[in-house]
């Protein structure tokens, strides 16, 4: 059962999932056992689907790139977009799939890989799916903000110096 305590817990751990059950309990003024039980229920109900670490790969020696691919598809009668999405998200290279409104139907994000591997994946595996009309591939050049976290250094004053 979803309740107000669970919603408060979700809002807290969405910003910092490294907090202990005890720390969350103190923040909410409840018993640690209540937090632990609520977290187990949220995981069992698939409301909490995983815990991930956000990494700034630009500060490492990693040469691989991220790609976002837009797909236009022809949904089939009776199965709509779901069957197509299933075909796409089954590929191990695919990290994220969203059904979107607008000029394209799906947004697909791939795992980081060399640019050539991404190009081959799109050409030989993704674009050959019968329902796929077209693809548009975007390579991520630089991340400035991701999941609410800034990836730029804020220590430099970027204002123009003016003298009278």
pLDDT higher than 90, residue 55: no
Query: Domain check: are 91 and 22 in the same one?
Result: no
Q: Would you state the pLDDT for residue 80?
A: 86
Taking CA atoms, 141 is separated from 42, 67, 78, 120, in Å, by 36, 9, 39, 19
Query: Domain check: are 77 and 30 in the same one?
Result: no
Query: Domain check: are 28 and 71 in the same one?
Result: no
Q: Is residue 154, in this structure, part of any structural domain at all?
A: no
Query: Domain check: are 29 and 82 in the same one?
Result: no
C-beta of residue 38 within 8 angstroms of C-beta of residue 9: yes
Query: The domain spanning residue 123 has which CATH number?
Result: 3.30.70.920
Range of the domain at 38: 4-45
Residue-wise pLDDT for 103-143, tens only, equals 999 999 999 999 999 999 999 999 999 999 999 999 998 88
0.85 exceeded by pTM: no
What's the total number of domains in the chain?
2
């Amino acid at each position: 059962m979803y309740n107000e305590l669970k919603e408060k817990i979700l809002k807290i751990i969405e910003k910092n999932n490294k907090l202990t059950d005890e720390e969350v309990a103190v923040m909410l003024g409840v018993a640690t056992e209540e937090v632990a039980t609520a977290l187990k229920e949220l995981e069992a109900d698939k409301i909490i689907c995983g815990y991930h670490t956000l990494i700034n790969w630009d500060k490492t020696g990693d040469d691989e790139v991220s790609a976002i691919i837009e797909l236009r598809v022809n949904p089939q009668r009776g199965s709509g977009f779901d069957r197509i999405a299933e075909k796409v998200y089954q590929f191990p290279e695919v990290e994220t799939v969203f059904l979107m409104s607008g000029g394209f139907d799906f947004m697909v994000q791939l795992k980081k890989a060399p640019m050539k591997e991404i190009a081959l994946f799109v050409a030989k595996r993704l674009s050959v799916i019968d329902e796929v009309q077209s693809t548009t591939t975007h390579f991520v050049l630089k991340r400035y903000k991701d999941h609410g976290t800034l990836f730029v250094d804020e220590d430099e004053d970027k204002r123009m110096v003016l003298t009278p």
